[in-house]
Amino acid sequence: MEIKAIRGMNDILPDDMPKWHFVEQTARKIFRLYGFSELRSPILERTEVFFRGIGDDTDVVEKQMYTFTDKSGTAVALRPEATASVLRSVIEHGLLNREPIQKLYSIGPMFRYERPQKGRYRQFHQINIERLGEDGPLCDAETLHMAYALATSLGLAGVRMEVNSLGCDDCRQQFKTALKEFLREKEEKLCTDCARRKNTNPLRVLDCKVVSCKQAVEGAPSIEDFLCEACRVHYHEVLAALDALGVPYEKNPRLVRGLDYYTRTTFELTAEGLGSQNAVAGGGRYDHLIQTLGGPDVTGIGFAFGMERLIMLLPEQVQDNRGCFVVAQGNATVQLTALTLLKALRSVQIPAEAVFGKSFKAQMRKAGKSGYPLCVILGEEEIAQSMVTIKNLQDSSQVQVDMAGFVEKVRSLLDK
């Protein structure tokens, strides 16, 4: 009987890996420009990390976490998001004691038990940013600018940013009270989840995608009307800094996040090509989360990109497979010489492959499927003349060059 992967847990096959590598390499390049360092946390944490960090009134904690008791009796969970896990690591290892400002990124798998759909899986991957110890509006704007820079560097089409402020604890509580009062008269229009959320987490009702819920919140109070003076000034200064950085954005007073820990600045990035569920990234400020998890009273801001959704938006060929295939046909001397040619190419960082023990026709067929633009052909005649033939696999042109200079010739042809 064939054993298949668990539903919602997908294999990433070799043909897909160039896109994944492109996304990861682009992210690391962008983050280095902004002074961020990588941190890798375990995928398995104590369940308490997420109960305390995410909030027990969220869908993630209530319905989506993979949680169980291990053999020692400890309640553990596969991480459903990265922020709480990264902050647990920061606190445990005293990173903020060494340096009060931490700029960290992480890349890896997350797990949520929900209905798999296009671009959303039970095991999914995220690129996450956590910026700790800075609380000014310029910090927020620069972090949003970095998210926008990553999206545009990946070549996504129609990138749009929506920005909102969720205020501080005080002004958000006033807004929640007014929103609960408004939703009390709309209960018959709310879906089952929102009928429950309206009392426990009413902000999430604003984010519901069910048509009747969207209609129900028309005319609802706006968070902007409840911002205290300090939060209002902070929000306006974030927007002014985004203007100065040239980041296009739209204010969206209905924009909220699904997790409880967000305060003040929140944002979302969307791109063309995903239909109505077009968000590729989101995040915001979380000024009390570190303290909630048992750490110092240090502010933070972060965001996450969903990698599967980014992969779906990339073109089929995201980068040139720069490299060379070596085809060798002949006696043992030819085969050994081919090994030295491979070594010479790789020594100057040119990817190179060969298939030994196959016919010339089979080797050329493999070269054509390799994706490399060039192949080097070596036979007994070439050995006798100390020459190699370099064939362009895209237009079938070829040239013979001295073996001693073939690496430079390959490099020059690849660089054209």
Confidence at residue 33, expressed as pLDDT on a 0 to 100 scale:
95
Confidence at residue 302, expressed as pLDDT on a 0 to 100 scale:
96
Q: What percent of the chain has pLDDT over 90?
A: 60
Task: Give dist(CA 156, CA 376) in Å, integer.
Answer: 36
Query: 274, 178 in Cβ contact below 8 A?
Result: no
Is the pLDDT assigned to residue 1 strictly greater than 80?
Answer: yes
| In a shared domain, residues 241 and 328 | no
Question: Can you give the CATH number for the domain in which 348 is found?
Answer: 3.40.50.800
Is the pLDDT assigned to residue 414 strictly greater than 80?
Answer: yes
| In a shared domain, residues 404 and 261 | no
Cα atoms in the 13 Å half-sphere on the side-chain side of 133 = 12
pLDDT tens by residue, 2-26 = 999 888 888 999 888 889 999 999 9
- Domain ranges, residue 408: 324-414
Domain for residue 174, yes or no? no
Domain for residue 319, yes or no? no
Is the pLDDT assigned to residue 260 strictly greater than 70?
Answer: no
The verdict on pTM exceeding 0.95 is no
Is the pLDDT assigned to residue 229 strictly greater than 90?
Answer: yes
Q: Which of 34-43, 55-64, 94-103, 381-390 has the lowest mean pLDDT?
A: 55-64
Q: How far is CA 264 from the centre of its chain?
A: 23
Confidence at residue 57, expressed as pLDDT on a 0 to 100 scale:
55
Here the tokens at position 86 are 């990264």
Query: 282, 161 in Cβ contact below 8 A?
Result: no
Q: Which of 262, 288, 313 is the last residue of a domain?
A: 313
Domain for residue 211, yes or no? no
- Which residues are CB-neighbours of 137 under 8 A, at least 6 positions away? 234, 235, 237, 238, 240, 241, 265
| In a shared domain, residues 393 and 309 | no
- Residues forming a β-bridge with 163: 251, 267
Query: 217, 254 in Cβ contact below 8 A?
Result: yes
Confidence at residue 374, expressed as pLDDT on a 0 to 100 scale:
93
- Residues forming a β-bridge with 131: 103, 301
Is the pLDDT assigned to residue 53 strictly greater than 80?
Answer: no
> Predicted confidence band at 303 (pLDDT cuts at 50, 70, 90)?
very high
Taking residue 69's Cβ as centre, other Cβ atoms within 10 Å add up to: 10
- Residues forming a β-bridge with 387: 402
| In a shared domain, residues 164 and 132 | yes
Contacts 24+ apart (CB under 8 A), 359-366: 359/329, 360/327, 360/329, 363/327, 363/328, 363/329, 364/327, 366/325
Confidence at residue 199, expressed as pLDDT on a 0 to 100 scale:
76
Q: Which of the 8 DSSP states describes residue 109?
A: E
Query: 242, 144 in Cβ contact below 8 A?
Result: yes
Query: 278, 270 in Cβ contact below 8 A?
Result: yes
| In a shared domain, residues 359 and 296 | no
| In a shared domain, residues 303 and 377 | no
| In a shared domain, residues 102 and 56 | yes
Confidence at residue 189, expressed as pLDDT on a 0 to 100 scale:
79
Confidence at residue 186, expressed as pLDDT on a 0 to 100 scale:
75
Task: Give dist(CA 399, CA 377) in Å, integer.
Answer: 10
- Residues forming a β-bridge with 7: none
Domain for residue 397, yes or no? yes
Query: In this structure, are strands 398-402 and 387-392 parallel, antiparallel, or unpaired?
Result: antiparallel
- Which residues are CB-neighbours of 33 under 8 A, at least 6 positions away? none
Confidence at residue 258, expressed as pLDDT on a 0 to 100 scale:
60
> Predicted confidence band at 360 (pLDDT cuts at 50, 70, 90)?
very high
Q: Is the dihedral of CA 325, 28, 110, 196 positive or negative?
A: negative
- Which residues are CB-neighbours of 155 under 8 A, at least 6 positions away? 314, 315, 318
| In a shared domain, residues 361 and 300 | no
Q: Which of 273, 292, 313 is the last residue of a domain?
A: 313
pLDDT tens by residue, 362-379 = 999 999 988 899 999 999
| In a shared domain, residues 164 and 259 | yes
Q: Which of 270, 291, 313 is the last residue of a domain?
A: 313
| In a shared domain, residues 404 and 267 | no
Task: Give dist(CA 271, CA 250) in Å, integer.
Answer: 14
Residue 252: which of 271, 237, 263, 267 has the closest Cα?
A: 267
Number of domains in the chain: 2
Confidence at residue 45, expressed as pLDDT on a 0 to 100 scale:
93
Mean pLDDT value of segment 326-341 = 92
Domain for residue 114, yes or no? yes
Give DSSP secondary structure letters for 276-299: T--EEEEEEE-SSHHHHTTS-S--
Mean pLDDT value of segment 327-348 = 92
**Longest Cα separation, the chain:** 91
Domain for residue 126, yes or no? yes
Here the tokens at position 237 are 């200064």
Q: What is the CA radius of gyration of the chain?
A: 27
> Predicted confidence band at 354 (pLDDT cuts at 50, 70, 90)?
very high
Q: How far is CA 313 from the centre of its chain?
A: 13
Domain for residue 54, yes or no? yes
